[in-house]
Homo-oligomer: A and B are copies of this chain.
Amino acid sequence: MSGRGARRREPRQERSRAMVERIVAAGRDVLVTRGYDGASTNRIAAAAGVSPGSLYQYFPDKDAVLTEVLDRYLDAMEARVSRAFLDSVAAAGPGAGTAPAVRATLEALLDTFGEEPDLLRVIVEQLPRSPGGRRAAFAGRIDDLVTTVLLTRGAGDTDAARAAAWTVVRTVEHLTTGFVLERPGFARAVVVDELTALVAGYLDARLSGGRVASDGPS
């Protein structure tokens, strides 16, 4: 995961595609069962029923395999999160506060993260993050999505919306995954309530009257 941006070659044949699939699936399994340190190329190739040499036919190096595993997880996440967010926004309608949409989004997120906690854990706890890497890109796209919605909901200028989006996206991402992985001593309903209060309160203030900070900005 040394952020060199190594990508796999595009397979041209059906056979090749199947091989890539097996390798990625094996990479995922080995990653989950043996951890990042145990995810050696030889082990992944063996788990895929493929020779080490073949692995290198499709992936330039070890990181590329794990990057692909991560990419797929992140792509699936992004699709579900985007959809859940947009559905929630649509369902809540324009009139009310943001709380219903936030709450619905949170529920969807917790459902999603809870589905593969083992993979989530190894990604969050063991996979090195590269500064300009996939996770940053992922978050950046969610930022854009939320920014757009905020702007349509009457947030002030673009910069303010971006800042607000950056803030809530990271907050929600970190606390939902944190809840799933830490399993702190309170119920899921509690986190949902708290996070809804936290985020909806913030967004409502941001959207209605613009600047709020009663103690004056710095």
Contacts and interface: CB of A to CB of B under 8 A. Distances in A.
Interface of A: 35-37, 96-97, 99-100, 103, 107, 121, 124-126, 128-131, 136, 159, 162-164, 166-168, 170-171, 174-175, 178, 181-182, 184-186, 189-202, 205-206, 211-215, 217-218
Instruction: Say how many copies of this protein the assembly contains.
Output: 4
Given A163-B191, A163-B194, A202-B202, A214 B97 contact: yes
Contacts of A213: 99, 193, 196-197, 200
Nearest to A126: B128
Contacts of A136: 182
A178 B170 CA distance: 8
B121 A125 contact: no
Pairs A-B, 10 closest by C-beta atoms = A99-B215, A174-B174, A198-B202, A125-B129, A201-B201, A167-B194, A126-B128, A171-B171, A189-B218, A163-B190
A162 B182 CA distance: 14
A113 B187 CA distance: 32
A211 to B, nearest CB: 8
Contacts of A96: 215
Contact of A195 (B97, B159, B167): B167
A185 B201 contact: no
